[in-house]
Structure 1
Amino acid sequence: MHDITIISMIFTAALALVCLFLILSPLFKWDTYLHVSTKNQDLASTKEALLTTLNEIEFEYKMDKISHADYKNLKKQYESEVASIMKEEEQLTDKPVDQELMAEVEKEIEAQMKSYQSKKGEGK
């Protein structure tokens, strides 16, 4: 009898801990601890930050907070960084196009255009 009460207390404690975990787990952001991101997401966020900075630099220049020389240098620097990120994004997303498939699609488009034009000509 004494063994049953110890087992039931252990089981009850384990069940209580599981319930507590399930109740409290939504309060914690696990994705901050398990940071998984792709290179595309990193590039996109970096590009967005650089474009925001470019806008801020332009705003500050228009408000006469920075000199024209500083504005030109900063703008050139950030634009070159954005351009390199855009090239890198293009390389990641650039996929070879199946030329045979493209030729077939173009033929279908031309056939549809000809049938449309012939139907349009019959209606007049």
Structure 2
Amino acid sequence: MTSSWLKQVRFDSNGLIPAIAQDHLTGKILMVAWMNAESLAQTVASQRAVYWSRSRQRLWRKGEESGHHQSVKDIRLDCDADVILLTIEQHGDIACHTGRNSCFYQRLNTDGDTPTWEITEPVLKDPDSIYS
């Protein structure tokens, strides 16, 4: 039986909801992923982030390959009940598969005639050494 709190979440037609992972100390947005009811319920039960991988079509326990897991400090639901905000502690300081702290490492530079994306964060660890 589905828990009453889970019934209040508005999943999309594919049974998914976007989930934002935010560092609990700095407030920095580290990544956005997707959750289904099962991954959200497992996240609540384990207090570790579990997402739904759209590319692999399976549950994805953050850090299962890289070791860079996320401990969940707080879970919030937005006013429309269609976005989840996870306040997390990022273990290993790498949330992005590119080896960076955040997936949001590119900033649009509009100083010149033509806007360009600039990289604002260094690679902390070579992704080839993280994923085998």
> TM over 0.5, yes or no?
no
- The structure with the largest strand share of the pair is 2
Length-normalised TM-score, structure 2: 0.27
Quick check: which has more Rg, 1 or 2? 1
- The structure with the largest helix share of the pair is 1
